[in-house]
């Protein structure tokens, strides 16, 4: 499901906090738009120490970045989320 992160992610702390919340709620990675909308990355986890695990197709590998480093990539708030299928 595509959508917007509605909470304030303009600071490193806000970005870390809200990504952790979405990851916990969805139990899946988040595809996040960065670089003022010109690029997408995959956010896999927020680690207990606050660092963030990402996959960047341009880098062709996973990496661990600080919230400050991710925030410097100018996330737009646009994202793609996965949710568990509800049993009927």
Pairing of the two strands 30-34 and 61-65? unpaired
How far apart, in Å, are the Cα atoms of 10 and each of 7, 25, 58, 86, 87? 9, 21, 23, 32, 36
- Each residue's pLDDT, cut to its tens digit, for the chain (88 residues) gives 788 898 999 999 999 999 999 999 888 899 999 987 889 999 999 999 999 999 999 888 899 999 999 999 999 999 998 766 666 6
Tell me phi and psi for residue 18, to 5 degrees. -75, -35
Q: What is the pLDDT of residue 87?
A: 65
Q: What is the pLDDT of residue 29?
A: 92
Q: How far is the C-alpha of 6 from the C-alpha of 85, rounded, in Å?
A: 23
pTM of structure: 0.87
Q: What is the pLDDT of residue 83?
A: 67
Q: What is the pLDDT of residue 60?
A: 84
The domain limits of the chain are 2-80
Q: What is the pLDDT of residue 85?
A: 62
Closest by CA position to 53, among listed 21, 16, 82: 16
């Amino acid at each position: 499901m595509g959508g917007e992160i509605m909470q304030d992610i303009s600071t490193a702390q806000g970005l870390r906090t809200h990504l952790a919340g979405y990851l916990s709620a969805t139990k899946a990675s988040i595809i996040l738009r960065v670089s003022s909308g010109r690029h997408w990355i995959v956010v896999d986890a927020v680690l207990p120490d606050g660092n963030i695990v990402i996959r960047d197709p341009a880098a062709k590998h996973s990496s661990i970045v600080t919230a400050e480093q991710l925030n410097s990539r100018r996330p737009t708030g646009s994202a793609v989320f996965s949710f568990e299928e509800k049993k009927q």
